[in-house]
Every structure is written in structure tokens, then in C-alpha cells.
Amino acid sequence: MKFQLSSPGHYLTDLSLPWSLHLTQWPEQHFVKVAHGIHRNVVKFISHKNRVYALKELSRKVAEHEYSMLKELEERGLPVVEAVGLITDRDKEVPKVSWLEEYYDMSDRALLITEYLRGTLPYRVIIENGIDRYQLNLMLDALADLLVKLHLIGFYWGDCSLSNALFKRDAGLMAAYLVDAETASFVPDMTQHRREYDLELAHTNIAGDLMDLQAAGLLPLNMDPIDLTDFLVERYNTLWDELTRDEVFDTAAQHEVEKRIRRLNDLGYNVEEMEINTLESGKKVKMTVNVVEPWHHRRKLQSLTGLDVQENQAKRLLNDLHQYRARINREYDYHIPREVAAFKWLTEIYQPAIDAIPEDLRGGLDPAELYHELLEHRWYMSERFHHDIGLKEAIRSYIENVLKLRALTTEAQ
């Protein structure tokens, strides 16, 4: 028998458990009862060292595929159950079980182990406990957001449904986690046709999930399964459009770039790359952005510039760096390598701006926070005057109107 574990923190090789047997043959005493969804395959739960794990009985090929999919999604920071291990070769070098009369052929069987996500619930449990339209919309919003995140990284789910996700309350909203990736795959080209087909499958599956609830009398009478599912598709399309559409505006309205970035940030996304092309003999520009999940910006900024800052500071600084690179690409009509642009931004923009701020006015703020405040000040001034005021003027105003005033206020206290 072979145990493949993803982390030493999950030392799940308790040999007293009957790993070599089909999950349906395990004595019930090994299992614990937790809230769970409906599964096509046999899924059971065990407790080990104060943690709960889900065991899923699958053919070896499917289990290996799902294990690799879950691991890659986890490494990319997507909301997904943690794949803890995979058990194969369950018919090799294992002792016979004295009390078992009939053995399954286990030569092609595997057990996929995932950790039970604390604080999450399946949709049926949430709805059975009472839910209104607003709360159900939050759940569908979360699932639409999850599907968009997956499509952005070229991940085709192939079986999106309420049953194949778990939901967790998140500061008044809901977050969805993928728990089933048997039919999923990474595709080199996530075409519109492929996305639409995945969305169509999701529509069919979710409508079926909700109709089952309606038939069981669990869905409130004023809710129509098709209307609810149409809402999810609408939310998906709206979010996808906001994240991926090109935007055209006048060349003088550079602060519109900042506006777009802020809207994307408000949706929980960040700009990884940005491209700006001139149109109509330079009278207008077209802005194209690539967005990413907000999980890697601190590491990304550090790899490009060496700056070690907090995550939100990293988002802000990277946005500024991307704007800077897009601008010099346009000015020089040449795509400057990211690393070169990062060095120029660090030495010609960021560091000179920090150096221009007197030490005695910094008030204990670290350089990244000062630069963040400086960009905020520039943003509000540009909004007020309806044009980009430029960094030099922003630095002057920030020192005179913010830092000096703050220092005087501090002295007066």
C-alpha cells in the first residue's frame, strides 16, 4: 500500500485503520458525523488529532487527477479544500482481514483525503436552517465569483454546482470553496465558447439542485429555481465583463486609469499587468488589464524590487508600478521588460519620492505607507481638479498640506 501525503503536518498513516478495504466496508466506528453535501461517490469522514478529514473512494485514475487539480489550485491560492493525501496500491502487501467475507478488487481503487474545512457548510444545510432571498443571492454571488476566479486562471470546472462547493460566511458576505474537481482541467486557452459551456453546465446543475430543494419543500415559496440560477449567470457575466473589458477614454483623463483600478480593487481583484494603446491619433487611449487574485502581491513586489511591505501596501505599489510601465511603454513605443521597468520605477519614482519627504515629518510611518498616502493624496487632488496633477506637485502638496499639518496637530496635543 502507498501513502502519498502532501504535508508532514498531516501524518495520516494510522495503520489501525482498514485503508486496504473499500470505504463501504469500513466499520462505522471509524467515522464521525459532520455536515456534508450530496456526493456521487462514497465519502466518509474521520477524526484524527483534532482535525476532521474527508475520505473519498474513487478509481485510481480519477483520484490521481483530482488530487493534482486540488493541489495546483491550492498552490495558486484559490479557495479550495486542502488535498491532504492519496492512498493507492491498496491490494499490495496488506494483511488479510479476518472478519471480512468478501473482498472488492482494489487494484484500481484509491482514497483521496482532504481536510474538512472548518466553518464551512454545504448549501443544503444553510438553506434547511432558513434562508431569505438576500442570503441566497449572497451564496450565488459567491459561487459566481469562484467560477470567474477559476476561469481567469484557465481552469475549466466542468461540474460547477451548489453540491460541489462549500460556503463560509465572510464579513457579512459569503465565500465559496471548490470541493470537487473530478471533471476539471487546466486549459491552455480559455475561449469564450469554453467559458460559456462551463457556465451553461453550472446553470443546469444549480437549477437541478434548487429544484430538488423545491420538491422537498425546503426552498421558500417565493423563490423560483430558474430565476435564482439566471441571477447567478447574470452576476458571472457582469463580473467577468468588469474584470476583462477594454476601456477607452480621453488621453488627458489619466485619472480614469486610477478609477478603473480602484473599481477592480473594490471587487477584490488586483491588476497584474496593464496595457495602454493610443487611438484616434493620440486623442484617446485604450486600457487593457490582466487581473489576479490578491494573494501574491507582497511576494511579487519583493521579487521585482526587493521591497518587503505589507500585502495591501504591495497592491498599491504594484498598481503604481504597472501604471508607470504602461506609460513609459507608450511614450517610448516599446515594451520595456517588467524587471527593467521595476528598477526604473524604484530608482526614478519611488525612492526619490521617499527621499523628498523630510525625516522629521514622517511621524513614524514606514516608507511604503508614506508612498501609499502620497498616492492617495495625488488621487484626491486629481479628482478635485479633473486632471492628473503629477507626482512632483503631489509631493509638494502632501508635505505642505498633510504632513506639516499633522505634525502641528501632534505638537499641540
Count the neighbouring beta carbons within 10 Å of the beta carbon of residue 392.
11
C-alpha cell recorded at residue 185: 482541467
| 305 and 369 inside one domain | yes
Average the pLDDT over 277-299 and give the result.
Answer: 75
Count the neighbouring beta carbons within 10 Å of the beta carbon of residue 171.
6
Percentage of residues in the chain having pLDDT higher than 90 = 41
Average the pLDDT over 166-175 and give the result.
Answer: 76
pLDDT value of position 171: 56
| 194 and 284 inside one domain | no
Name the nearest CA neighbour of 230 among 196, 194, 206, 211.
206
Q: Which residues fall within 8 angstroms of residue 328, CB to CB, at 6 or more apart?
A: 336, 341, 344
Radius of gyration of the chain (CA): 27
pTM for this prediction: 0.68
Q: Which of 167-171, 246-250, 291-295 has the lowest mean pLDDT?
A: 291-295
Count the neighbouring beta carbons within 10 Å of the beta carbon of residue 363.
11
How far does Cα 350 stand from its chain's mean position?
A: 29
Please, what is the end-to-end C-alpha distance for the chain in angstroms?
A: 71
C-alpha cell recorded at residue 103: 473482498
Domain-terminating residue out of 256, 274, 289: 289
Give tens-digit pLDDT for 304-323: 898 988 767 887 898 899 88
Is the pLDDT assigned to residue 192 strictly greater than 90? Answer: yes
| 237 and 340 inside one domain | no
Give tens-digit pLDDT for 382-395: 888 888 888 999 99
- Report d(CA 267, CA 292) in Å as an integer: 11
How would you classify the pairing of strands 2-5 and 43-48?
A: unpaired
| 237 and 317 inside one domain | no
Confidence class of residue 147 from pLDDT cuts 50, 70 and 90?
very high
| 211 and 235 inside one domain | yes
**Residue bearing the bigger pLDDT, 308 or 368:** 368
C-alpha cell recorded at residue 221: 415559496
Count the neighbouring beta carbons within 10 Å of the beta carbon of residue 182.
18
**Count of domains in the chain?**
4
| 107 and 125 inside one domain | no
For residue 260, the 8-state DSSP code is H
| 190 and 86 inside one domain | no
Q: Which of 259-268, 290-299, 315-324 has the lowest mean pLDDT?
A: 290-299
Count the neighbouring beta carbons within 10 Å of the beta carbon of residue 1.
15
How would you classify the pairing of strands 43-48 and 109-115?
A: unpaired
How does DSSP assign 204-252, residue by residue?
Answer: HHHHHHHHHHHHTT-S-TT--HHHHHHHHHHHHHHHHHHHH--EEEETT
| 227 and 192 inside one domain | yes
Average the pLDDT over 43-72 and give the result.
Answer: 92
- For 78, the 3-state DSSP assignment is coil
pLDDT value of position 197: 96
Which residue segment(s) compose the domain that 213 sits in? Answer: 121-241
For residue 282, the 8-state DSSP code is G
pLDDT value of position 293: 60
Average the pLDDT over 162-167 and give the result.
Answer: 92
How does DSSP assign 104-166, residue by residue?
Answer: ---TTEEEEEEE--TT-B-HHHHHHT---HHHHHHHHHHHHHHHHHHHHTTEE-S---STTEE
| 250 and 235 inside one domain | no
Is the pLDDT assigned to residue 194 strictly greater than 90? Answer: yes
pLDDT value of position 18: 87
